[in-house]
Amino acid sequence: MHRDAHDRHHQLNHGRLALGRHILAGLEVLIVADLIRTILHLSLANILLLGAIVVIRSFISFAMEYEMKALKND
């Protein structure tokens, strides 16, 4: 019974890691899309907005990577 709980926990962590990788890939795609949009509509307001978006998404990416490393070690 203890072994089954351990296996379920391991499968859940594996699912979380897979989901985390997909979310990180999505964040990277969104950053590239925002960069392209900013280049097409170049203005100071768009550049500042892009900077804020990149900072926020980068922070989320680093936090998720940290969480994923913790899951791998568990």
Mention every residue, 6+ apart, whose C-beta is less than 8 A from residue 50: 34, 35, 38
Distance linking the first and last C-alpha atoms of the chain:
20
**What does the pLDDT average to over 47-63?**
89
Asked if 29 contacts 48 with a C-beta cutoff of 8 angstroms, the reply is no
The pLDDT score that the predictor gives to residue 69 is 86
Whole-model pTM? 0.70
pLDDT in tens, 4-54: 766 777 787 788 888 888 988 988 898 888 889 889 998 999 889 989 988
- Which DSSP symbol is given to 1? -
CB 17 within 8 Å of CB 70: no
